[in-house]
Structure 1
Amino acid sequence: MKNNIRVLLLATAPGLLAPAGAALAQTAPAAQPALATSMATGLMPLSLQQAIDYAVKNKPTLLSTRLNEQTARAKVGEIKSAGLPQVNVAANVADNFKLQKSLVDFGALGGGSSATTLTPADIAAAQSGRTVNLGTVTLPSEPVPPQAFAFGLQWAGNTSASVSQLLFDGSYLIGLKAAKVYEDLAKKQTQQAEIDVVEQVSKAYYSTLVARARLTLLARNVQRLDTVLYQTNETFKAGFAEKIDVDRLRVQRNNLLVEQQKAQRLTELSVALLKFQMGLPQSQTVQLSDSLGAAVVDAGALRQRLGVASAATGGGVSGLGDVPTGTAPTTGNTDAQRQQDQQTALSGARTGQLAAAFNYNNRIEFSTLETQQALAGLDLANRRAGAYPRLLATAAYGFSGSAKNPGDLFAFRGPDSRAGNGFPNQNWFGFGNVGLSLQVPVFDGFRRKYQVQQARIAQQTVEKGFETLRQSIDLQDAQSRTTLINALDVLDNQKANLDLAADVARVSRIKFQEGVGSNLEVVTAETSLREAQTNYYAAIYDVLVAKVDRDKATGELYNQARK
């Protein structure tokens, strides 16, 4: 993003940007309607805070990250559900078109080499109610071999309901602890994405503000150039100027018109980039309500925060005129202190109060890594808990039936059913059971051992990452601090150069009007002025971007955006 605005600023040198259209019109920030209402009317007044709020709520990448957060909550519910009763209902019907047979030793069922005999007369006597004495006969001495016998009928059915309740599982207890940590990790990842969006939107908004401010300044430069061209042309007509003087100004004006066209497109591109970073449709017209003067940081207070405050420099936020000037420090101690601070920052260290005040936990990356460390520890404990017994309470109840044909199977005859001859013909029978299931892992081929090793290594990897992250945060802190200090120094110098170039241009115009200066001197001074203006606004943007990077490095960007 920084490179984009740098390209925009350098591409317009030595000319200035053209005035933007209605989408970039400057208005006072008072009495702004709600974004939803303004979008309905076709024009959205947009402050930096409004742009950030809209992006946080509507940026597609953030919406995708929040879906991951919802997935994490659903995963937590999945883990908790394992401790609730598990109820299952099952039903099946089978056509045993070829029944399985088993060999049965019917000879052994007879009880030996003797048996009783039953004659037709004995049956008749029994049916008439008389007592029958059965006689014993001797069976053949040759044994009967086992015979094939099919159990069951062709059609069979079964339906049942089962319930199980987890009573103890070490992995489940640890999973409950990990569930909350996992959800916190998803929230921190969302916050990390929000911080990135705040950074991108802030830089894009500042880019547009700088472009708009330069467009306003360009309008004044064009008017001044037209005035000088008109006066020179009139002087030429009166015979007091040469035609080459008029031609020089016309060439400069033609070049400025070309630069205006290029700058107009680049300005529209910066607005499009802002809309993209916000997740705003490109067709939506926006109206920036913040001013660059309000966005410029208080350089004096900022230098004090950085530990490089100087009594010779300072500034405010009331307008561009309050930006620190390039007045040189009056004491050598200040220069020495500034150089020492820069060297300290480049070495990755912090001085005095700054070192004591820095808190790594302000960085979301550090907090996220702590959460990952907690998850790694819980994963290790979960692997170890795999050696604990698992106890469940179980219960089941159902019915099974069989018949020779489907119609008979689905007749659902119970215990009170009777056939035509009075015999029971029940075909469905109930069953039920309750019990405890204890599962004790004894030996799994050392699988759990290697799982524990992997979990321990993963935990150690996360722990090693803390030192790398601390070093990275220290480097970012040092880089952002040094970059911001340098940007403030450059802004001081560019403001001083701008003042000098403006004064040179003013004197050159006066000398030319009084007839003691040349037209070439005026053209050169105007070109230098525009170059100084370009460098000045580029320095302003560099300070704003460096301030955003500094706030992100110290972990303050998100809190400031949410105020």
Structure 2
Amino acid sequence: MRLTTKFSLFGVLLTCLLAGRVSAQEVLEFTLEESVQYALENNADAKNALLETFASKASVGEQVAQGLPQINGSFDFTKNVSIPVMFLPNEGPFADPDNPSDVLPVQFGVNYQSGITVTVNQMIFDGSYFVGLKAARTYRQLSEFDKEKTENDVIENVKKAFFTVLVNKERQELAEANLARIDTLLQETTALYEEGFAEKIEVSRVKVQYNNIRTELDKINAATEISKQLLKVQMGLPIEYEISVTESLRDLNQPQQIQELLDNPGYRRVEMDQLQTNWELVKLDLKNNTVQYLPSLNANFTYQRNGAGQEFNTVWDSENWFTGAFVGLTLNVPIFDGLAKAKRIQQNRIQLQQIENQMDMLDDNIEVERFQARTNLQNNLKTLDVQRENMELATEVYEISRIKYSEGVGSNLEVVEADSDLVEAEINYYSALYDALISKVDLEKALGILR
């Protein structure tokens, strides 16, 4: 990757981070490989897929943490504004002869009380925990496959956008050459007309052709800029950057590489890995619902210190604080849940069958997709050869018409028509070239080698 200024790419990116904008004069040059690599690091979808893998790793740690001791502490302080009253019978040893009532009001409590508590819970056995731990690791694997699928989509879009820029770039160069050629013809015909060796209609014919090519060049220029903008979007490159592609179509499409691609049998597709991992997740969910019929056992320990006092400052006196500690086991035994677990298990089994059907269908679709992509590429290559030959023939016809006209044995109309046929042949050639390039990317995707 290079810059047309003296700044390195790292320097430009650093400037962008610091200043938020770059100078319009700085142009970044990319090869196809550099474009793909940049997109894998900066495309929004690619970055989100990478972040999702980090989240899945964290989910594994979260699941592991559920099997570790759970420790909680608490502190409370209470001011009893109005201490609750309880009543005792006014008789026996509690009798108050000075109280005419048959009950005695008694307050059980103090003005201030406080406490510090630490509780520890430790899971001893819970079948769902171990299944959940394996499911978290499987989900992490699924996030890796999702990341790979996202990267494949990014690579596909970048390649197609890059090829579009290259095709438009070559169309632009050819259209400029066509414009220069017809401009020369227009000048020569105009000079002949001014000297009386040509008619006005001959000048008009060439002028019409000149205007048509000029209009076509404007369209190509606009398409080139649009394709560059689309490439920047696919790469995740800020729009304010100027971009230039440095490779040619010939460099990226060697005949030997095309033949190797056509002979490649293909590899396992990541879409199949995604479905297989989803199947494993549903299988684990089925196992999780099954183990919920088993009891769970947890140990718990509580340590607390409680204090009280009639005055605020006496609450904190050490003689008013006392210790309590408790150790216990909790065994939870599921008895009846209204068949909820049984229905969830039934749903899991149906989901497994659905995913198996999807895998069979995907396997067939992949084979069809590979056959179709390989056939399309072969047909597009044949069409490209035909259009290349047509363009060469149209060029030859134009040159002969041009020579005949310059020697006075041909007409101006023949030259204009030959030029028009040549322009049409060039348009057809680049259209066929674009189709061949896109079908090449489609075959790489179908074969699972889109890198």
**Of the candidates 40, 50, 53, which is equivalent to residue 69 of structure 1?**
53
Contact 2:175 2:213 in 1 (8 A): no
Q: Which has the higher contact order (CA 8 A, sep 6+)?
A: 1
Which structure is higher in helix share?
2
Contact 1:35 1:45 in 2 (8 A): no
- Is 2:67 the counterpart of 1:83? yes
Please name the residue that 1:389 is paired with. 295
CA distance in 2, matches of 1:460, 1:109: 78
Contact 2:38 2:235 in 1 (8 A): yes
Contact 2:70 2:120 in 1 (8 A): yes
| Distance change (3 Å), C-alpha of 1:461 and 1:292 | same
CA distance in 2, matches of 1:515, 1:363: 64
Amino acid at match of 1:275: K
TM-score, normalised on structure 1?
0.71
Residue ranges of structure 2 left out of the alignment (5+ in a row): 16-24, 95-100
Q: Percent identity over the alignment?
A: 36
Task: Give CA-to-partner distance per residue, 1:294-324, whole Å, 9 cap, x none.
Answer: 12342x66357546xxxxxxxxxxxxxxxxx
CA distance in 2, matches of 1:77, 1:391: 22
Contact 1:33 1:45 in 2 (8 A): no
TM-score, normalised on structure 2?
0.88
Contact 1:91 1:160 in 2 (8 A): yes
- Root-mean-square deviation (Å): 2.8
Amino acid at match of 1:83: G
**Of the candidates 70, 78, 87, which is equivalent to residue 94 of structure 1?**
78
Please name the residue that 2:442 is paired with. 549
Contact 2:387 2:425 in 1 (8 A): yes
Amino acid at match of 2:138: V
Q: Give the CA deviation at 1:405.
A: 4.2
CA distance in 2, matches of 1:392, 1:106: 47
Alignment of 1:301-320 (within 5 A): 302-303=258-259, 306=262
Task: Give CA-to-partner distance per residue, 1:193-235, whole Å, 9 cap, x none.
Answer: 1111101110010000011111222232222212222332333
Please name the residue that 2:238 is paired with. 281
Please name the residue that 1:536 is paired with. 429
Q: Which moved more, 1:288-297 or 1:448-457?
A: 448-457
Instruction: Report how many aligned residue pairs link the two structures.
Output: 434
CA distance in 2, matches of 1:470, 1:148: 83
- Is 2:20 the counterpart of 1:36? no
Q: Give the CA deviation at 1:537.
A: 0.9
- Computing the radius of gyration from Cα coordinates, the structure with the larger value is 1
Contact 1:390 1:438 in 2 (8 A): yes
CA distance in 1, matches of 2:412, 2:305: 110
CA distance in 2, matches of 1:106, 1:439: 46
| Distance change (3 Å), C-alpha of 1:208 and 1:463 | same
Q: Give the CA deviation at 1:262.
A: 2.6
CA distance in 2, matches of 1:222, 1:447: 77
**Of the candidates 347, 365, 374, which is equivalent to residue 481 of structure 1?**
374
Q: Give the CA deviation at 1:368.
A: 0.8
- Is 2:312 the counterpart of 1:406? yes
CA distance in 1, matches of 2:93, 2:246: 102
Contact 1:296 1:540 in 2 (8 A): no
Contact 2:2 2:28 in 1 (8 A): no
Please name the residue that 1:216 is paired with. 173
CA distance in 2, matches of 1:306, 1:482: 9
CA distance in 1, matches of 2:226, 2:240: 13
Please name the residue that 1:437 is paired with. 330
SS across alignment from 1:167: strand
| Distance change (3 Å), C-alpha of 1:145 and 1:480 | farther
SS across alignment from 1:496: helix
**Of the candidates 279, 283, 290, which is equivalent to residue 373 of structure 1?**
279
Task: Give CA-to-partner distance per residue, 1:142-162, whole Å, 9 cap, x none.
Answer: xx9775544322433221111
SS across alignment from 1:97: coil
Amino acid at match of 1:531: E
Please name the residue that 1:520 is paired with. 413
CA distance in 1, matches of 2:261, 2:223: 35
